[in-house]
């Protein structure tokens, strides 16, 4: 997929997010972002969208077997968690001397 401009997302690795859509929807429990894939517009969130994967035997795992792991989900299905207001919040970006700061629209605190 070729895009003229690289998309800008407010979600980064290590952020606390809330799943707002899908089978794992839970607006009260924040979860950690493990990885962000901006080219595919997807995020990998801890404990969300678990899938089973069948592994062939190899040197690390001589038995092989079935493993459950997280699958990437679309970035629009998650929302950043505001720790001060203890709720999901929208974000605005503000420019400073050192770069950009992400601020919560609910509480005004930096994320």
The single-letter DSSP state of residue 106 is T
Q: For the chain, what are the domain ranges? A: 16-82
**Which residue(s) pair with 67 in the sheet?**
53
Q: State the pTM of this model.
A: 0.84
The single-letter DSSP state of residue 105 is T
Which CATH architecture group holds 16-82?
Answer: Roll (2.30)
- Predicted confidence (pLDDT) per residue in 50-100, tens digit: 999 999 999 988 999 999 999 999 999 999 999 999 999 999 999 999 999
Cα distance between residue 81 and residue 50, in whole Å: 21
């Amino acid at each position: 997929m070729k895009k003229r401009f690289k998309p800008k997302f407010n979600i980064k690795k290590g952020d606390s997010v809330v799943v707002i859509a899908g089978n794992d929807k839970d607006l009260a429990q924040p979860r950690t972002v493990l990885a962000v894939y901006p080219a595919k517009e997807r995020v990998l969130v801890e404990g969300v969208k678990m899938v089973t994967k069948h592994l062939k035997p190899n040197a690390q795992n001589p038995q092989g077997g079935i493993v459950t792991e997280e699958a990437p989900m679309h970035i629009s299905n998650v929302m950043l968690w505001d720790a001060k207001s203890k709720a999901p919040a929208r974000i605005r970006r503000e420019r400073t001397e050192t770069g950009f700061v992400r601020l919560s629209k609910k509480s005004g605190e930096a994320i």
